Amino acid sequence: MTGKKKSVWLSVLVALAVIVSSCQNANQTKVIKLAHGLDPTHPVHKAMAFMAERVKEKSKGELQVQIYPSGQLGSERECLELLQIGSLGITKVSAAIMEGFANKYKVLGLPYVFRSKQHSYDVLDGEIGKELLLEGEKYWLRGLCFYDAGCRSFYTKERPVNSPADLDGLKIRVMKSNTAVEMVKSLGGSPTPISWGELYTALQGGVVDGAENNPPSFYLSHHYEVCKYYTINEHTAVPDVLLISTVVWKGLNDQQKKWLQEAVNESVPHQRKLWAESEKHALEEVKKAGVEIIYPDKKPFANKVQKMLDGYQSQPEIYSLIQRIQKVK
């Protein structure tokens, strides 16, 4: 064999070796699909993208998370169903959605169950939060972490809300949630369930007099164009929850589970920082647009819903959680 032929064969062998090695590396790479309904500009999406990068870095590419935002793979409900059969790896939903799967999640939607933002973090990062994350396992939905979704407050069209008495006679849009309906009734308002997509028109047409949500949602929905009073009474602080299919979780080895959970844990403080920035920006923008921002005394609001919380004594599972949360310092 001539030197030229040897050189050609050597080049072929090297190329084949590279191809085989690439195939082996490709086979070693495990990819988890993550789908959700948020826009890529949303702070929760940015936190999940940060988490995906950390997974890739920690595993040196052996474990990767591919994200499909903006409802590409379906609605929240559809994503949960895909998780249950293992066709999808991870999704993000409001903790309120989880009430339909694990009853204990209901406690996170109760008004004034948290004393402050820091108190909610202490609860969610602690023993109670860890217990709740595992509550959905029997339904093939294992929680990985909670993300901050802000506090919900009232915004109105015709008059400001400085105290619960100002809600008397006002039709307030609420989510299709029994807890939300009961809360607005306790505060003296008239709860009116309307879908989020129809709310702008309902506010314009006078179907409702106001609504309640967090600052970024108030701003991004353009509801500030109709409602010129925003009362930061912060009645609820329902977090988002990042969930993994137990089918997918059990398919990971111990090292892969460690990489993923560590990356998720690192994404939590990152997301909270992004959320705080988005809230600040939203309030600045609606104020520029002529919205009056009101910071009322929260105690009268909390006192009004205390009977609602006491009513859970007939549900020992939830009432016990309320008491445990209130003891967290």
Mean predicted lDDT score pLDDT of the chain: 91
- pLDDT average, residue stretch 235-253: 97
Highest mean pLDDT of the ranges 27-41, 68-82, 87-101, 249-263 = 249-263
According to DSSP, the residues that pair with 293 across neighbouring strands are 230
R_g of the chain computed on alpha carbons: 24
% of the chain surpassing 90 pLDDT: 81
CA distance readout (Å), 291 to 156, 162, 189, 226: 10, 15, 21, 9
Least confident interval from 173-177, 180-184, 218-222, 317-321: 173-177
Cβ partners under 8 Å of residue 148, min gap 6 = 239, 240, 271, 272, 275
Residue 23 predicted with pLDDT over 70: no
pLDDT digits (tens, 9 = 90+) for 145-154: 999 999 999 9
Residue 3 predicted with pLDDT over 60: no
Residue 28 predicted with pLDDT over 60: yes
- pLDDT average, residue stretch 261-266: 98
Residue 239 predicted with pLDDT over 50: yes
Q: Are strands 30-35 and 90-94 parallel, antiparallel or unpaired?
A: parallel
Residue 154 phi/psi, 5-degree rounding, is -85, 140
Question: What is the token pair recorded at 22?
Answer: 């690439």
- What is the distance between the alpha carbons of residues 294 and 229, in angstroms, rounded to a whole number? 7
- What is the distance between the alpha carbons of residues 218 and 212, in angstroms, rounded to a whole number? 8
Q: Please name each of the domains of the chain with its CATH number.
A: 24-101+136-147+240-274 (3.40.190.170), 152-237+281-327 (3.40.190.170)
